[in-house]
Amino acid sequence: MGILVNGTWQVDQLINNKEDGKFVRPDSPFRDWITADGSPGPDGQRAYPAAKGRYHLYVSLACPWAHRTLIVRALKGLEDMISLSVVHWHMGDQSWSFEAGDGVIADPVIHADYLHQIYTLAKPDMTGKVTVPVLFDKQAKKIVNNESADIIRILNEAFNDLGALPGDFYPLPLRGEIDEINERIYHTLNNGVYQCGFATTQAAYEEAFVPLFETLDFLNEELETQEYLIANQLTEADIRLFTTLIRFDSVYFSHFKCNKKRIQDYPYLHRFVERMMLNPKIANTVNLHHIKHHYYGSHKQLNPSGVVPLGPELIY
């Protein structure tokens, strides 16, 4: 683990909380956009034009944030338009690497050994964390965006005129409802599990634990009478929820001390995960080996031995 400081890699601890013990996720520094014709993004951001073969996606199969982008890339049929690299599950002193291993896809841009080399290629004086996903412009040698919430919306719309598969996971009439439920799920669940797992005081842990399970209770009730969260159709809200739920019982329940209930103890959340896994495009993006080995094998502050548990037995 580490951080870039003025373009130089410095080894650092995974968890560096302040005195209150709360984990604070850093903001994503690259927030440009891709649109069909290069016109500005939805909030006026600088944008690049959609083009087949121009853009490259860097992901980890372990990371729930990167997993969102893999799912939308698959559902939109963008595999031949946006190339892909997959980092190794183990995150060591140099952070994400392209060390050879099952499921790893090497970097074709500069044949990098480490993802931080892609960051300094794009911004030589970069200071900050090196995270996945990364949407990279191979033509301009720039990082377009490294915020997963942005990237899934880019993939949802920008390539439609170039032959992307039909399907709109952020439809205009439902955006208000999607944004509202995303807000709760992000703060209390997607990020909430990390606030539990990376808390370094009891108070910080309990402050995150309670709303986490209040949200799971709420979502279980919401899904009792419908298949998906909004208007009973698959939207980005479901995708953002799924990537946390699929990791919950294997990792977050024990490794992050989110141990009040498993997803298998919630009948409608469990049914939701089963339904999502019935879609082969989604199921093919799930790699439980990378997920479990990354968390238990990389987070030495939480699991110094690096021993990876063999269980639990999942029913998906």
Same domain, 145 and 89: yes
User: Tell me, what's the pLDDT at 288?
Assistant: 97
88 found inside a domain: yes
Q: What is the mean pLDDT of residues 300-306?
A: 95
Tokens of 265: 């103890």
**In CATH, what number is assigned to the domain containing residue 205?**
1.20.1050.10
The CA distance from 237 to 180, in Å, is 10
For residue 306, the 8-state DSSP code is: -
Is 147 flagged in the annotation as binding?
yes
Calpha distance 59→69 (Å, rounded): 8
Q: Reply yes or no on whether the pLDDT at 59 is more than 90.
A: yes
**Whether 78 and 150 share a structural domain:** yes
Q: What is the pLDDT of residue 13?
A: 84
Residue 207 CA to residue 209 CA, distance in Å, equals: 6
Q: Which helix (H) or strand (E) holds 64?
A: helix 64-75
Average per-residue pLDDT in the chain? Answer: 97
- 292 in a labelled binding site: no
Contact 216, 261 (CB under 8 A): yes
In a domain, 305, yes or no: no
Are residue 7 and residue 155 in the same domain, yes or no?
yes
Query: In terms of domains, do 223 and 152 share one?
Result: no
Provide mean pLDDT across the span 26-35: 95
CA distance 279 to 274: 9
Residue 245 within any structural domain of the chain: yes
Query: Rounded to two decimals, what is the model's pTM?
Result: 0.97
- What pLDDT, on the 0 to 100 scale, is given for residue 192? 98
210 pLDDT band, cuts 50/70/90, is very high
| Residue 144 included in any domain | yes
Q: Answer yes or no: are the C-beta atoms of 132 and 152 closer than 8 Å.
A: no
When divided into structural domains, the chain yields a total of 2
Per-residue pLDDT band at 199 (split at 50, 70, 90) = very high
| Least confident range of 13-17, 67-71, 154-158, 303-307 | 13-17
CA distance 267 to 224: 8
Percent of the chain at pLDDT exceeding 70: 100
Same domain, 92 and 236: no
How does pLDDT run across 220-278, given as a tens digit for each residue? 999 999 999 999 999 999 999 999 999 999 999 999 999 999 999 999 999 999 999 99
List CB contacts of 271: < 8 A, sequence separation 6 or more.
223
Above 90 in pLDDT, residue 17?
A: no
pLDDT above 90 as % of the chain: 94
55: CATH: 3.40.30.10
Residue 206 assigned as binding residue? no
Q: How far apart are CA 161 and CA 105, in angstroms?
A: 28
Query: In this structure, are 96 and 148 located in the same domain?
Result: yes
For 126, 162, 189, 244, the CA distances from 247, given in Å and listed in that order, are 31, 33, 12, 5
| Domain enclosing residue 250, as ranges | 174-279
Task: Assess whether 185 and 275 both reside in one domain.
Answer: yes
For residues 158 and 54, give the distance between their C-alpha atoms in angstroms, rounded to a whole number.
13
How many Cβ atoms from other residues are within 10 Å of residue 249's Cβ? Answer: 23
Are residues 132 and 199 both part of a single domain?
Answer: no
Q: At what angle do helices 148-157 and 236-247 cross, to 10 degrees?
A: 130
Q: How far apart are the first and last CA of the chain?
A: 32
* Torsion angle, alpha carbons of 284, 314, 289, 17, to 10: 110
Could you read off the pLDDT of 72-89 as tens digits, one per residue? 999 999 999 999 999 999
Q: Is residue 63 in a domain?
A: yes
- Annotated catalytic residues are 63, 194
pLDDT in tens, 159-172: 999 999 999 999 99
| 96 known ligand binder | yes
